Amino acid sequence: MDRTQFLALMDELLELDPGILKGNESLEGLENWNSLAVIGFMALANEHNGVIVSPRSIAKCKTVNDLIDLVGQ
């Protein structure tokens, strides 16, 4: 999965219109970034990239780009 596909999946996960996320957005500023979104992100990373990310590593992320770095995009 490439960066564009990942961002599209994140748009869907966060119930945003397609193409909204560019990567530099603050997670704190995203209305739907909550505990359910964290679980969804963990599932997305595992399902699409085979990457297992811990809640602790996600908690250290400040931006969408930080999440992308976790899954190696």
Domain of residue 50, residue span: 3-71
The model's pTM is 0.90
Question: What pLDDT does residue 27 have?
Answer: 98
Question: What pLDDT does residue 58 have?
Answer: 97
Question: What pLDDT does residue 35 have?
Answer: 95
State how many domains the chain has. Answer: 1
Neighbours of 24 (CB within 10 A): 8
| CATH number of the domain encompassing residue 13 | 1.10.1200.10
Taking the C-alpha atoms of residue 65 and residue 4, their distance in angstroms, rounded to an integer, is: 12
Question: What pLDDT does residue 73 have?
Answer: 54
Instruction: Give the residue ranges of the chain where pLDDT is below 50.
Output: none
